[in-house]
Structure 1
Amino acid sequence: MAHALDPAKALHTWSLFRTMGRYVAPGSAPSGVLTEHDSADGLPLLELPGQLAAHGFVSAQLCHFYLPRTEASYLAELRDAFDTAGVDLECFLVDDGDVIHPEQGEEQQRWLSGWIDVAEQLGAPRVRVPAGDQEPTDETLALSARRLRALATSHPDIRVITENWKSLLVDAATTRRLLDQVDGEVGLLIDTGNWGGDDKYEQIAAVAGEAECSQVKAREISPGVLDEEDLTRSLSVLQDVGYAGRISLVYAGTDDDEWARLDQMHEIARDVTG
């Protein structure tokens, strides 16, 4: 039986990468997947919560690499900015780190733990960390489960979750195997844009009912034209499997007016949720 999706206007702040000046803080991207970039042209992070509120958003998932500093005074100022704007920090997203790297896995686990400390100081109820960026095997899945559980155990005051993402969690079967091994100590964020193929929607449906958070991604079928069919089908899958969390929108297109595209996505989401 289908359930109504949460109508709150929510987003993943990756959607505003251009608005933020493509900012990637020094030291925040050790894998090199993101290029560190210091820009004075983008929206300052402390002004982001107010702009989110001005555009009607009540909830945000915040990317770790937008933080220019992590000292306690700055984190307190940022937390206050979200509180003052009335925008809920649903989840803090650590977008790098590989706990199952064959040489650097333990070091990466410690690096992630430091960012979880940051999430706690910001008052986020959840922090999302990658499960790993190596091919799935019995050994890598077991190692990921062990290290994710260790992170959760060492940070009992925040909910640690992971995502169907990177080289480890390539499909629903491997994601479910990992979830079985973490035994509820680590949760799941479902991203509708991370899996492809003809069975994409079946794969999402197989695990989305267990997810606590979502990222619902909109790509383009041509420059400036959203793939509305994919977005609608993805939302419908979440609704049909009883996903009960928020719908955090992810704009992944080419338009510099990211706010307008997010508004377009929200209208589509409202049509699906009724």
Structure 2
Amino acid sequence: MVTRAVSTWSLHRTLGRFTGPDSKFGGGSVSDAVPAPDALPLLALPAELKRHGYETVQICHFHLPSRSPTYLGELRAALDESDIVLDAILIDDGDLTSATAADGAEAWIGEWLDTATALGARRARVCAGRSTPTAGRLRQSADRLGRLAASHPEVRMVTEDWMELLPDADSVLTLLAATGDTIGLMIDLGNWSGPGKYGELARIAPFAETCHAKCRFAGGDPDREDFSASLQILKDAGYDGPLALIYDGDDDDEWTALDTEFEIVRSVFG
């Protein structure tokens, strides 16, 4: 049985397109967005997830309106009350390969790892870097990721096949080899494209422990062929972790689009 999981990015509109005031490295929010008047508060999301049949959630760091101990305690209690597992906090900022700001980014990410720990998250996803891959940059990222993991043993750190440092399987596998067992992999099925996509995904799929199950939509219709092929690669690799649905199509009816995605997931995984 597939665990029904979702990222809060897939419900960004439901949450009022909100970005928190403390969510950008260096200060400020990721954007200037404020909650829409009819926004669903994050504290109410666990109950709504339960109502829609979800068991697991990944929360984008910028969806947290506060990191006060009181608020984090309330959110953790809301998740517990609805029996929703917090698979991961998704830390979407901070460049560990920056020539000028890597030290600050490492410290900033560490603060968010503290937040993930306070919320009882199983994992925290960290971007490996925003620079094109070289042996030196991959080594630098591995060293910084390793330090962060060692200083936050209560939460499992993972990185993702995402952003400039990890554009292909070679870079992902090099980084994972350099970090040993200390860093895991969150595989995103929709970050890579092109004719070599499936071969690249197949090379990293055996290392994945959690997933962004991203389906592309065009004109309101899902790309079933691509999504199914990507999911099949995971299944063939023996994947048995969460499949957190990712939706960012044009239709504002996020719940219905996510239902469509889940039907495709079930058609592959059963």
Task: Report if TM-score (shorter chain) is over 0.5.
Answer: yes
CA contact (8 A) 1:25 1:36 kept: no
Residue 36 of structure 1: which of 29, 32, 39 is its match?
A: 32
CA contact (8 A) 1:136 1:169 kept: yes
Give aligned-pair identity as a percent: 44
**Pairwise CA distance, 1:33:** 9.9
**Partner amino acid, structure 1, of 2:230:** S
SS of aligned partner of 1:212: strand
Distance, in Å, in 2 between the alignment partners of 1:105 and 1:244 is: 34
CA contact (8 A) 2:97 2:141 kept: yes
**Partner amino acid, structure 2, of 1:92:** I
Residue 247 of structure 2: which of 244, 251, 272 is its match?
A: 251
CA contact (8 A) 2:29 2:62 kept: no
Residue 169 of structure 1: which of 151, 166, 171 is its match?
A: 166
Which piece of structure 1 moves more, 226-235 or 71-80? 226-235
SS of aligned partner of 1:29: coil
**TM-score (norm: length of structure 2):** 0.96
Output aligned runs, 1:55-204, within 5 Å.
Answer: 55-204=52-201
Deviations 1:153-208 (A, max 9, x none): 11111111111110000000010000000011111100011111101011111011
Q: Which fold has the larger relative contact order, with Cα–Cα distance below 8 Å and residues 6 or more apart in sequence?
A: 1
CA contact (8 A) 2:122 2:156 kept: yes
Distance, in Å, in 2 between the alignment partners of 1:192 and 1:40 is: 30
Residue 238 of structure 1: which of 234, 255, 258 is its match?
A: 234
**TM-score (norm: length of structure 1):** 0.95
Q: 1:272 to 1:265 in 2, by over 3 A?
A: same
Distance, in Å, in 2 between the alignment partners of 1:127 and 1:194 is: 18
Superposed CA RMSD in Å reads: 1.4
SS of aligned partner of 2:208: coil
Residue 14 of structure 2: which of 15, 19, 22 is its match?
A: 19
Distance, in Å, in 1 between the alignment partners of 2:103 and 2:259 is: 41
Distance, in Å, in 2 between the alignment partners of 1:34 and 1:112 is: 15
**Pairwise CA distance, 1:29:** 2.4
Q: 1:136 to 1:33 in 2, by over 3 A?
A: farther
SS of aligned partner of 2:211: strand
Distance, in Å, in 1 between the alignment partners of 2:8 and 2:125 is: 14
Q: Where in structure 1 are there 5+ consecutive unaligned residues?
A: 1-5
Distance, in Å, in 2 between the alignment partners of 1:101 and 1:244 is: 35
Distance, in Å, in 2 between the alignment partners of 1:259 and 1:88 is: 19
Residue 217 of structure 1: which of 208, 214, 217 is its match?
A: 214
Counterpart of 1:228 in structure 2 is 224
Q: Where in structure 2 are there 5+ consecutive unaligned residues?
A: none
Distance, in Å, in 2 between the alignment partners of 1:240 and 1:27 is: 40
Distance, in Å, in 2 between the alignment partners of 1:40 and 1:250 is: 21
